[in-house]
Structure 1
Amino acid sequence: MNVLLVLPPNQPRSGGNITYSTRIKKGLAPHKIDIEIQSLDSVQLHHYEKADIVHVFNAFRTGRFVLPIVKELEKPMILTITGTDINEYMTKEETREETYQVVEYASQIIQLTQTSRQQLIDLVPSGGAKSVVVNLGIDLPKRNEKTRADFGFQDGEFVFLLPAGIRPVKNPLAAYEPLRRVHGRYPAVRFAVAGPAMDQTLFSEFEKKMDSTEWAIYLGEVDHQDMPALLAAADVILNTSKSEGLSHALLEGMFLGKPVLASRVPGNVDLIEDGVNGFLYSNEDEFAEKAIWYIEDSQLRHQLAAAGQQWVKDRYSVQREIETIKKIYEEVMSREYSFKGE
């Protein structure tokens, strides 16, 4: 079976989409399912023609451009729907219709959380019958020998790390002001951001802020092979997104036993139970308060980190993820052959 997996354009080398698609490709190769990974800005007609199934990631940013091609070629399409699809593109008048068309055409819809699936059903009741939740797996590379010093962190510093691309939906400057206040009280606090510049307007503002102070550091895009060492070097992993499907960075940090602090948005709420396996925040004051709790109470920090690690290990298995996606591909192919045979 040949599957073409089309990602949104301008993919960073180490982002969640690349991590997700590469893991699926690797996991399904032994099952004689060959996956071709292309971003929207690199995919060519011959890739579509070769594919038995086209699997798109993100309905609006990718699927609306792929839709006329798969219709013309009469190819089945699987959609992995994202947080921005559900929370933004399906609710805004100017993007709703095109996003709905992708949802309606899709043979199967993969979602990352039960909340997302319920939101889809509320918006498009007919989507429920062809949607399924597939928990992400975690397949981190083996940790290399890099240390805190290799990332510019000094002994005695308390590092809050945000692994995220610099783009509006990731809201990277949301942590800046509350951490500035926390740094004023605890001078050892550092704010580090690792991720590619994906929006030049925002990046200009972001770069100016980060360069204006000694307690904030921008690491640029970090190779995925270095991510386990970087996550291990940090004290707390952040997610400041305005909208989230399910964050690979949070999952990976929790898997490695790191405490997390994340925005209270769908996706993050599905992963984190506030005060049980991590912390959620709704505003700058709550962010600062919970950041200080982490700094001041090492027992609480270790307790939430251990609970988060167990939570992720219990629920997010690569083997289950691969088995479920394999079943989805096989069922879609079976329906396709049945349809063409009629």
Structure 2
Amino acid sequence: MKILFLACLRAHTGNCTTADRIKDHLEAAGHRCVLKDANSFASPAEVADLITEENFEVALAIHLYKGGRLLLGHGIPFGAIFGGTDINEDVKHEETFRAMGAVVEAARFLVAFTDKLKEMAEVHWPHARNKIHVQPQGIQTTPSADFDFKTFLQSAEIPLNLGSVHLFLLICGLRRVKDPLFLVNAFSEWHRKDPQVYMIIVGPTIDPVFTEEVHATIKRNKGVRLVQEMPREDLYAALKHCCAVVNSSISEGMSAALLEAMNLEVPVLARNIPGNAAVVKHEDTGMLFSDPEEFVLLSKRLMSDSALRETIVSKAKEYVKNWHSWERERETYQTLILQLQ
């Protein structure tokens, strides 16, 4: 089948990585899958023209509002994947909620990354219970063999003469829902007492106005750096040099960055929200914090307790192997797409 696949495709973001992986799954089954950036379409009419011009037979979308609504009214069979912010945030607004309800009605199948997301969706659309499938994100990580850690530190303006540098990486697109400034003040105060600890925020500009705020705040706080997005393979290599990967989001569907770190045997410290708690079990596969002060305390504990660190990374690696199988994800999407025939 010739498949139109709509997703938000800002380079080096979790959405883009997920979309590329699912596209690969579908093409491995012999389908032709064309990935398009949902943000490049102003209306469903533009998508209708594309469907006609390119003779697409079926469609798939990530994010019920940003992607799914563009597929309404064309008569093309489609499936949709909950992105996270759609079910966590967009349901709070009448206009977006109404559009998402229409997508739920029209979609042949829906995919949620976690049981919790499925439960949340069923609260809003109980009649759609049987068409919502749970498929956790499949994880593959291949670190670059050519990555130069010293060059990375230099790009982040971190002195190379400090001896042992303790890095914490926060990976996110710069937008308010990711809340990358949540920990900045507390971390900067910790850095003032221990100049060897640094937090690096890695990610692309999503919200230009908010990005200016991030730059201004970081400029006022020592010990925190911001670097642009980087190729996934280089990012995986950078993770291997870190004390921990951090997530401070207000809401999440399923953080690929956390799962990738867990697969690479790097500890994770995540804000205690439903999306993160679905994949991180406190003091078992990672650490969950509720406020900046707790984050600092848990970080210090991870640095000083090697036995705890080893236990966490071992259990996290096993969790990803058991629940986030790339092969199982491939099988699921190759099976679901046949419902559109």
| CA–CA distance in structure 1, aligned partners of residues 310 and 60 of structure 2 | 40
| CA–CA distance in structure 1, aligned partners of residues 237 and 99 of structure 2 | 41
Question: 1:122-159, CA deviations, whole angstroms, 9 ceiling, x for partnerless residues?
Answer: 12101211000112111233422213212115441110
- Aligned pairs for 1:124-143 within 5 A: 124-143=125-144
Which of residues 10, 13, 16 in structure 2 aligns to 1:15? 13
1:113 Cα deviation from its structure 2 partner = 0.2
Residue in 1 that maps onto 2:70? 65
Which of residues 191, 194, 207 in structure 2 aligns to 1:199? 207
Residue in 1 that maps onto 2:51? 48
Q: Which amino acid aligns with 1:23?
A: R
Residue in 2 that maps onto 1:339? none
- Aligned pairs for 1:56-95 within 5 A: 56-67=61-72, 71-72=73-74, 74-95=75-96
1:45 Cα deviation from its structure 2 partner = 4.5
Alignment partner of 2:116: what SS?
helix
Task: Tell whether 2:308 aligns with 1:300.
Answer: yes
Alignment partner of 2:259: what SS?
helix
Task: Tell whether 2:236 aligns with 1:228.
Answer: yes
In the alignment, is the contact (CA less than 8 A) between 1:83 and 1:245 conserved in 2? Answer: yes
Q: Which amino acid aligns with 1:64?
A: R
The worse-fitting range, judged by mean Cα deviation, of 53-62 and 113-122 is: 53-62
Alignment partner of 2:249: what SS?
coil
In the alignment, is the contact (CA less than 8 A) between 1:151 and 1:219 conserved in 2? Answer: no
1:250 Cα deviation from its structure 2 partner = 0.6
Which of residues 280, 284, 295 in structure 1 aligns to 2:288? 280
Residue in 2 that maps onto 1:107? 108
Task: Tell whether 2:153 aligns with 1:169.
Answer: no
1:213 Cα deviation from its structure 2 partner = 4.1
Structure with higher helix content: 1
Q: TM-score, normalised by structure 1?
A: 0.90
Task: Tell whether 2:176 aligns with 1:178.
Answer: no
> What is the aligned residue count?
327
Q: Which amino acid aligns with 1:174?
A: F
Question: 1:251-273, CA deviations, whole angstroms, 9 ceiling, x for partnerless residues?
Answer: 11000000000111122111000
Change (3 A) 1:46 1:225: farther
Residue in 2 that maps onto 1:253? 261
In the alignment, is the contact (CA less than 8 A) between 1:3 and 1:52 conserved in 2? Answer: yes
1:46 Cα deviation from its structure 2 partner = 5.3
Which of residues 298, 314, 318 in structure 2 aligns to 1:290? 298
Task: Tell whether 2:145 aligns with 1:147.
Answer: no
Change (3 A) 1:299 1:309: same
Alignment RMSD (CA, Å): 1.7
In the alignment, is the contact (CA less than 8 A) between 2:192 and 2:222 conserved in 1? Answer: no
| CA–CA distance in structure 2, aligned partners of residues 102 and 27 of structure 1 | 23
The worse-fitting range, judged by mean Cα deviation, of 231-240 and 149-158 is: 149-158
| CA–CA distance in structure 1, aligned partners of residues 223 and 143 of structure 2 | 30
The worse-fitting range, judged by mean Cα deviation, of 210-219 and 96-105 is: 210-219
Q: Which amino acid aligns with 1:55?
A: L
Q: Which amino acid aligns with 1:187?
A: P
Q: Which structure 1 segments of 5+ residues have no match?
A: 334-342
Change (3 A) 1:284 1:94: farther
1:96 Cα deviation from its structure 2 partner = 1.9
1:120 Cα deviation from its structure 2 partner = 0.8
Residue in 1 that maps onto 2:121? 120
The worse-fitting range, judged by mean Cα deviation, of 226-235 and 180-189 is: 180-189
1:65 Cα deviation from its structure 2 partner = 3.1
Alignment partner of 2:146: what SS?
coil
In the alignment, is the contact (CA less than 8 A) between 1:134 and 1:321 conserved in 2? Answer: yes
Q: Which structure 2 segments of 5+ residues have no match?
A: 42-46
Q: Which amino acid aligns with 1:278?
A: G
Alignment partner of 1:165: what SS?
coil
In the alignment, is the contact (CA less than 8 A) between 2:245 and 2:258 conserved in 1? Answer: yes
In the alignment, is the contact (CA less than 8 A) between 2:71 and 2:78 conserved in 1? Answer: no
| CA–CA distance in structure 2, aligned partners of residues 251 and 332 of structure 1 | 30
In the alignment, is the contact (CA less than 8 A) between 2:25 and 2:334 conserved in 1? Answer: no
In the alignment, is the contact (CA less than 8 A) between 1:60 and 1:98 conserved in 2? Answer: yes
Alignment partner of 2:212: what SS?
helix
